[in-house]
Amino acid sequence: MEPVLEIKNLSHVYGVDTPFEHVALDNVSLTVGRGEFVGLIGPTGSGKSTLIGLIPRFYDVQEGCVKVDGCDVRQYPLETLRRKIGLVPQKALLFKGTIREHLLWGDEGAADDAIYD
């Protein structure tokens, strides 16, 4: 069975060629199969958020490869890729407004029945 998520030899550096250059990921590989749950644990600055941010292309891959459903994330149109991914950030954000208004962020044209479901 082909993995749902495959990360191979992934490296990412912030601030390339500046005095602030910082290696966030260095040759990371990971395979996640359908139905598997994975937890990333590590100290602040160890690259967890960077790794997660590379999957929906909040950052583009500099070195290595990230594949979702067997396809390199760089080959997906952004909207298509991001519709395949559910992401819960580590810090919750609260916005003003009703629960209904918040749910409409996901689908502005949602009918009341869909919102209730």
pLDDT in tens, 51-105: 999 999 998 999 999 999 999 999 999 999 998 888 777 776 667 888 888 888 8
Question: What is the DSSP secondary-structure string of the chain?
Answer: ---SEEEEEEEEEESTTSTT-EEEEEEEEEEE-TT--------TTSSHHHHHHHTTTSS--SEEEEEETTEEGGGS-HHHHHHT-----SS----SS-HHHHHTTT-TT--HHHHH-
Q: Looking at the predicted structure, is the pLDDT value of residue 35 above 90? A: no
User: Across the chain, which distance is largest between two alpha carbons, in Å?
Assistant: 54
- pTM to 2 decimals? 0.72
